[in-house]
Amino acid sequence: MSRIYDFAAVGAGPFNLGLAALTEPVEGVNGIFLERRESFDWHPGMMLEPAHLQVPFMADLVTLADPTSPYSFLNFLKQTGRLYRFYIRENFYPLRAEYNQYCQWVAGQLPAVRFGTAVLDLAYDDGVYRLSVSGPEGPEVLLARRLVLGTGTSPYVPEAAAGIVAEAAAGGGGVVLHNADYLARKAELQQQGSITILGSGQSAAEIYCELLQESDAHGYQLNWVTRSGRFFPLEYTKLTLEMTSPEYVDYFHGLPQHQRDHLNKTQKNLYKGINSDLIDTIYDLLYTKSISGMVDTRLLTHSTLTAAHWDPAAGTHTLQLQHGEQGTSYTLDTEAVVLATGYGYQEPGFLAGIHDRIARDAAGRFAVDRNYSTGVEPGEIFVQNAELHTHGFATPDLGMGAYRNSCILREIAGREVYPVERSIAFQQFGAPVDIAAPMGIGAPSDSGVSRECGKGVPA
């Protein structure tokens, strides 16, 4: 008889890799993790040398669930002989390349993680999911009682740019790329006479800063276009950080869907802004370059891309832009375009075989319960980083990964393997239930950990 796993996790990005690390020492729970890529490699196109995470090292794969885990970032530093260097550096924020190495180190120690294995199809029969996969040893069928979907997000291309992207991919257009491919095509970019970056977040800022630094050596014109009203910093004050908490997720999840959708549109500066130090670095660089004369660069705000086309005769893209406040349109000609336009979740095609096992909301999206389950049966299908519309901006936050995995593992194991925090914030996000007897600041709430993790709360 074929082995039936307790769960099969599809995708091995940081979130599912964290689940694998937390599951590995747990007796009586067996899972398998399937990743179509040949190895772990986290955003290789943006592995710029000075770039660092926007969360501290404690937001690693395991520490906030199990500080004693051998798969912690600090143990990685110790085992690779870099702990004292990190200590002397006196910076809590790991370099992005360093974090990538850490994840690769963890992945190499977990036999349950199978790279080079693609899930082709899914079926469900009598309480068991059948996964048709293709791996190093050829096609096979794996059986599991539950699923954890962690296939990650894909580069987002605005509809207005879809035409020039398709034309460039077919070989008939100019240089157009998403920032996911930036490093691989950086040399090609710098051979162009003009480069325009579209986007308002950290990736756009990092690319602009690097290309601005090297612009004199290559002689290109550099533009940075954002539809935002300004190049806004990531809001990172401590009371704001309390919004990446179980309490705020509880509050957000309990709101009506239309209110949650509205908040997701207005809270982007909480997770998509630019590191303030980088903004200052860019300004100082512009100032330094301006001493020798005008800098051949333009920073354009309030500007939304409405159309784009390639002119083969001129060798340029013409970008049609709409100024949001003035209501006026203008065009910008550029030889190369970098789309630093972020990422979005796309459901994998293999879910078609189990469409009737997935709960949906009115908009056709996953209807995700508070415990991160989206199956028609509670605790059967879980999602990682696909619940922004139900759980809010904490969804992609690396620091909440260990918390979410603790919740998921609790449901799978049927017991609380790792204590699940429920009360960490000083502030209250909703109206007090009993205003006459409020809990004082700093007062304990039971043990400070959740026994339910929102179990069974509907989306």
Shared domain for 8 and 148, answered yes or no, is yes
Shared domain for 126 and 77, answered yes or no, is yes
Measured distance between the N- and C-terminal CA atoms of the chain, rounded to whole angstroms? 38
Per residue in 275-292, pLDDT (tens digit) is 999 999 999 999 999 998
Residue pair 333/315 in contact by the 8 Å Cβ criterion: no
Shared domain for 19 and 111, answered yes or no, is yes
* Whole-number pLDDT of residue 457: 38
Residue 405 lies in a domain: yes
Which pLDDT tens digits describe the chain residue by residue (459 residues)?
589 999 999 999 999 999 999 999 999 999 999 999 999 999 888 888 888 999 999 999 999 999 999 999 999 999 999 999 999 999 999 999 999 999 999 999 999 999 999 999 999 999 999 999 999 989 999 999 999 999 989 999 999 999 999 999 998 889 999 999 999 999 999 999 999 999 999 999 999 999 999 999 999 999 999 999 999 898 889 999 999 999 999 999 999 999 999 999 888 778 888 999 999 999 999 999 999 888 899 999 999 999 999 999 999 999 999 999 999 999 999 999 999 999 999 999 999 999 999 999 999 999 999 999 999 999 999 999 999 999 999 999 999 999 999 999 999 999 999 999 989 999 999 998 776 545 555 544 444 444 355 543 333
Per residue in 346-403, pLDDT (tens digit) is 999 999 999 999 999 999 999 999 999 999 999 999 999 999 999 999 999 999 999 9
* 20 residue type, one letter: A
Residue 146 lies in a domain: yes
Shared domain for 52 and 188, answered yes or no, is no
**Tokens standing for 74?**
């600090």
Q: For residue 66, give the CATH number of its domain.
A: 3.50.50.60
Shared domain for 94 and 204, answered yes or no, is no
Boundary of a domain, candidates 291, 317, 341: 341
* 107 residue type, one letter: A
Q: Compute the distance between CA of residue 299 and CA of residue 294 in angstroms, rounded to an integer.
A: 13
Shared domain for 211 and 305, answered yes or no, is yes
Shared domain for 223 and 293, answered yes or no, is yes
Residue pair 301/230 in contact by the 8 Å Cβ criterion: yes
| Phi, psi angle pair for 331, to nearest 5° | -120, 155
Shared domain for 149 and 296, answered yes or no, is no
**Tokens standing for 327?**
């209501």
Shared domain for 315 and 367, answered yes or no, is no
Counting Cβ atoms within 10 Å, is residue 4 exposed (0-12), middle (13-18) or buried (19+)? middle
Residue pair 203/339 in contact by the 8 Å Cβ criterion: no
* Whole-number pLDDT of residue 2: 83
Return the bridge partners of 195, or none.
222, 336
Residue 440 lies in a domain: no
Q: Compute the distance between CA of residue 87 and CA of residue 137 in angstroms, rounded to an integer.
A: 44
Q: Compute the distance between CA of residue 32 and CA of residue 192 in angstroms, rounded to an integer.
A: 46
Shared domain for 284 and 325, answered yes or no, is yes
Residue pair 398/244 in contact by the 8 Å Cβ criterion: no
Q: Compute the distance between CA of residue 348 and CA of residue 74 in angstroms, rounded to an integer.
A: 34
Residue 254 lies in a domain: no
Shared domain for 217 and 79, answered yes or no, is no
The domain tally of the chain equals: 2
* Whole-number pLDDT of residue 270: 82
- Residues of the domain holding 288: 157-234+272-341
Boundary of a domain, candidates 305, 324, 341: 341
Q: Compute the distance between CA of residue 327 and CA of residue 163 in angstroms, rounded to an integer.
A: 24
CA distances to 295, 330, 336 from 388, in Å: 40, 34, 32
Q: Compute the distance between CA of residue 272 and CA of residue 235 in angstroms, rounded to an integer.
A: 9
Boundary of a domain, candidates 287, 320, 341: 341
Q: What angle do CA 11, 17, 21 make, to 5 degrees?
A: 145
Shared domain for 102 and 187, answered yes or no, is no
Residue 296 lies in a domain: yes
Residue 447 lies in a domain: no
Residue 435 lies in a domain: no
Residue 187 lies in a domain: yes
Place of tokens 């049927």: 414
* Whole-number pLDDT of residue 459: 38
